[in-house]
Amino acid sequence: VSGAENLLAVKGGTVLKFTAKPQRGYKLHNWIVNGAAISNKSETYNCTANGNMEVSAAFIEKDSRTVAVSTADGSYAKLEFTIDDVDYTEEYVDGKVKLYEGETLTVAATPRTNDMIAGWRIDNVYNTSYERSYTVKYSGSNTVQKVEVVTQSMFNNKIEFAAKYEG
């Protein structure tokens, strides 16, 4: 709240500015002034003090989808989960990442020594890729539901060549 130094004794006519900061996964539903809902979805609300007032904010949960992230059978990699540049690796140790509307998930994979990223299986469709990360954007019911990283040993690759003698 801004606009007055002492909120217990505000002069009539003072303009007060209230700011509501929802936690991750929530959005402002409305402001409530003296028990009545105000149809204002903005995270700031300005009002003029005109007697005793009670101002509060009501929040609702955003739409979400769970993205199951794992390493494919026989693959080995350390996975890290970042949502909008904030590390959530410790929160989602089970690999079931809750992604809310407006968010972007980046899965970073670090293969074990002597392994490499061979690809990513997205909703059971394999894509060859050597990228160490994959990004999922929230898109309602079309949001990716399953992300698997596939690794392989760097020493399992067979290199063949033929030499031709010209003499």
Digit-coded pLDDT (tens) for 90-102: 999 899 999 999 9
Query: At 47, which amino acid appears?
Result: C
Digit-coded pLDDT (tens) for 141-165: 999 999 999 999 887 655 666 777 7
* Residues 110, 71: Cα–Cα separation, whole Å: 11
SS (H, E, C) the chain: CECCCCCCCCCCCCEEEEECCCCCCEEEEEEEECCEEECCCCCEEEEECCCCCCEEEEEEECCEEEEEEEECCCCCEEEEEEECCEECCCCCCCCEEEEECCCEEEEEEEECCCEEEEEEEECCEEEECCCCEEEEECCHHHCCCEEEEEEEECCCCCCCCCCCCCC
CB 19 within 8 A of CB 43: yes
Which is more confidently placed, 31 or 53?
Answer: 31
The arithmetic mean of pLDDT across residues 126-142, rounded, is 95
* Residues 101, 61: Cα–Cα separation, whole Å: 10
Digit-coded pLDDT (tens) for 1-42: 766 777 777 888 889 899 999 999 999 999 999 999 998 889
Q: Which tokens belong to 70? A: 């794992």
Q: What percent of the chain has pLDDT over 90?
A: 72
Q: What is the pLDDT of residue 117?
A: 96
* Residues 132, 91: Cα–Cα separation, whole Å: 21
Q: What is the pLDDT of residue 158?
A: 59
Would the pLDDT of 137 be above 90?
A: yes
CB 59 within 8 A of CB 27: yes
Q: What percent of the chain has pLDDT over 70?
A: 93
Average pLDDT along the chain:
90
Q: What is the pLDDT of residue 35?
A: 93
